[in-house]
């Protein structure tokens, strides 16, 4: 979408009487509310965000204090071409300066403190591993090429381990890839294809995380909080304690219209009647539903409930009403393939861990990104975020975050399954791997808390699927209804990103209001010959690309030769 398309849509007749009910309080609903107000000119007081819990922000969370310790389940990686995300935060005011936007300050931070990792892999108890290249052979590069050329329809529900040669899964490329995006070998190869094409422009810097952006604080404080403040100022209704349990539909004449919202308000049943003049948007499915936390002395106990699982239960009810509403069981039907564990460490007066990590990696907190432990049985990675990581965090307190992809395996140092470990044991395993085994007692003396978090559905969006398993954002025939978030179908974009949720919100808002404004297209990296050739050269180990003699002579002295050689 060029500048010509960045218009201010006309105010629609009747918009002042139209109401919107957004089910779920995550970034998708918050973004939808913002687009309805700015582009749809809907009064904020007409918008209701229905959320079961008392906290908004969904998976983009972060909370705690210096006394009890801080916790964040995780953070989504961001890059420059998250076009819908940047559009959103280009009109949300900064919390500290109303004359600046969140995007203004976000860009300034990343220009001043760009991520450029000098240590992406470690092994052998704190020894740097070679991360200078992607470690791909010509055969591996050809497999990646074959993947980008294949259609999603042809690939179907093929998994990563079914598509790639086993040796591919031992390359640096795969260590980088899975630690950045949290892919398991049994996940969908279609999602790998989407990531390849969507982020083709980042492949040349993947071994140093060049192009990845970070926020000043955790993503709740930096992104959710200013968005909430702006929406509150617009008069949006934040209906806490509102658990939506079902929707009523009229399917007459080939159309789909929501006629009622069934919910529990602080446990008491209630019905909200709706008409085709109203809007209803539902976040179906959640990566962090049924998350559980532990502490220094207790593990996070896995919640395996099949009956009480919030938006998953709602989606199952909706899917039973129409084949156009997707197949939730594809994503939430096997917890042991979608779970993993993260843990947040809080240190007070630390003079060991952070100075040591700076010496080991050469990266200041916030400027190094994820580091993966190659020989960890848990496939553990850690990141040292910019400090302070929380707005209320004192200067003498530091926060570190880590996660493991294999929670059911025994540790190398702590001889227990990761899932069964207390916060203290998780920290000890990390200390062993980074080379601080002998200083564990001292480190524990300065550890305020380690909060493990078990997430049953954290990688559910990567499960093998085919067209139709995720419903369209606006299902065919819908007059007033849309799906939002990671489990709605957004062509060409990548799940497990903030951009995907924000894009779904823009799509739903513009389509249901029939606005003349276009949704910003996905950045077309895969169509840029310069990007393609740079990615190809990187995958080939930065060797000169092979050309036959005749073609080489023909291109000699041309612009194309500069790109190729």
Nearest Cα residue to 38 out of 191, 185, 234:
234
- Give the separation between CA 384 and CA 505, rounded to whole angstroms: 31
Tokens representing residue 480 in the block: 């007033």
- Give the separation between CA 326 and CA 285, rounded to whole angstroms: 11
Tokens representing residue 232 in the block: 């509150």
Catalytic residue among 70, 89, 175, 195: 195
DSSP bridge pairs for 271:
262
How many CB atoms within 10 Å of residue 297? 11
Number of residues written out for the chain: 565
74-77: which pairs have CB atoms within 8 A and are 24 or more residues apart?
A: 74/342, 74/401, 74/403, 74/455, 74/458, 75/218, 75/219, 75/385, 75/401, 76/219, 76/496, 76/497, 76/498, 77/180, 77/181, 77/212, 77/497
Establish whether 457 is a catalytic residue: no
DSSP bridge pairs for 272:
261
Exposed/middle/buried for residue 539 (C-beta within 10 Å: 0-12, 13-18, 19+): buried
Question: Could you tell me the sign of the dihedral formed by the alpha carbons of 263, 268, 274, 280, in that order?
Answer: negative
Exposed/middle/buried for residue 480 (C-beta within 10 Å: 0-12, 13-18, 19+): buried
Catalytic residue among 51, 77, 79, 472: 77
Establish whether 195 is a catalytic residue: yes
Please provide the DSSP assignment of 448-512 as one string.
EEEEEEEETTTTGGGS---TTSSPBSS-TTBSSEEEESTTSB-TT--SSSHHHHHHHHHHHHHHH
Helix axes 423-434, 353-361, angle to 10 degrees: 40
Q: Where are the beta strands (DSSP E) in 154-195?
A: none
Contact 248, 259 (CB under 8 A): yes
Active site residues: 77, 195
């Amino acid at each position: 979408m060029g500048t010509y398309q960045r218009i201010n849509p006309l105010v629609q007749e009747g918009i002042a009487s139209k109401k919107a009910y957004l089910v779920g309080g995550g970034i998708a609903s918050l973004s939808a509310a913002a687009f309805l107000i700015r582009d749809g000119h809907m009064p904020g007081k007409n918008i209701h965000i229905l959320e079961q819990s008392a906290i908004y922000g969904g998976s983009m969370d972060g909370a705690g204090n210096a006394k009890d310790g801080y916790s964040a389940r995780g953070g989504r990686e961001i890059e420059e071409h998250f076009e819908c995300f940047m559009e959103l935060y280009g009109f949300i005011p900064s919390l500290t300066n109303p004359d600046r936007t969140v995007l203004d300050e976000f860009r300034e931070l990343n220009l001043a403190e760009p991520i450029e990792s000098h240590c992406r892999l470690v092994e052998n108890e704190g020894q740097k591993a070679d991360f200078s290249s992607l470690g791909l052979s010509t055969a591996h590069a050809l497999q990646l090429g074959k993947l980008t050329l294949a259609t999603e329809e042809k690939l179907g529900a093929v998994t990563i381990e079914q598509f790639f040669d086993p040796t591919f899964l031992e390359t640096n490329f795969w260590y980088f890839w899975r630690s950045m995006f949290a892919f398991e070998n049994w996940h969908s190869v279609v999602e790998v294809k989407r990531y390849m094409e969507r982020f083709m422009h980042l492949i040349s810097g993947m071994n140093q995380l060049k192009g990845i952006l970070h926020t000043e604080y955790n993503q709740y404080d930096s992104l959710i909080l200013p968005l909430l403040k702006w929406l509150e100022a617009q008069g949006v209704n934040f209906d806490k304690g509102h658990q939506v349990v079902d929707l009523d539909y009229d399917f007459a004449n080939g159309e789909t219209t929501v006629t009622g919202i069934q919910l529990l308000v602080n446990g008491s049943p209630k019905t909200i009647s709706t008409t085709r003049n109203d809007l209803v948007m539902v976040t179906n499915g959640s990566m962090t539903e049924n998350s559980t936390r532990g502490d220094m002395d207790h593990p996070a106990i896995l919640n395996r409930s099949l009956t009480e699982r919030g938006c998953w239960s709602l989606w199952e009810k909706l899917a039973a009403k129409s084949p156009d509403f997707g197949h939730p069981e594809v994503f939430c039907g096997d917890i042991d393939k979608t779970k993993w564990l993260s843990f947040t460490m809080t240190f007070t007066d630390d003079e060991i861990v952070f100075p040591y990590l700076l010496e080991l990696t050469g990266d200041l907190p916030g400027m190094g990104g994820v580091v993966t432990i190659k020989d960890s049985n848990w496939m553990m990675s850690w990141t040292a975020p910019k400090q302070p990581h929380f707005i209320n965090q004192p200067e003498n307190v530091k926060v570190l975050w880590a996660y493991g992809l294999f929670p059911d395996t025994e540790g190398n140092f702590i001889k227990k399954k990761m899932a069964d470990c207390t916060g203290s044991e998780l920290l000890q395993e990390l200390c062993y791997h980074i080379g601080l085994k002998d200083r564990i007692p001292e480190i524990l003396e300065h550890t305020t808390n380690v909060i493990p978090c078990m997430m049953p559905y954290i990688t559910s969006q990567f499960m093998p699927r085919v067209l139709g398993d995720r419903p369209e954002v606006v299902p065919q025939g819908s007059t007033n209804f849309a799906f939002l978030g990671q489990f709605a179908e957004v062509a060409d974009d990548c799940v497990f990103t903030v951009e995907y949720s924000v894009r779904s919100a823009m799509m739903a808002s513009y389509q249901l209001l029939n606005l003349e404004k276009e949704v910003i297209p996905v950045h077309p990296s895969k169509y840029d010959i310069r990007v393609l050739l740079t990615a190809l050269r990187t995958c080939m180990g930065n060797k000169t690309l092979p050309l036959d003699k005749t073609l080489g002579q023909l291109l000699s002295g041309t612009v194309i030769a500069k790109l190729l050689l």
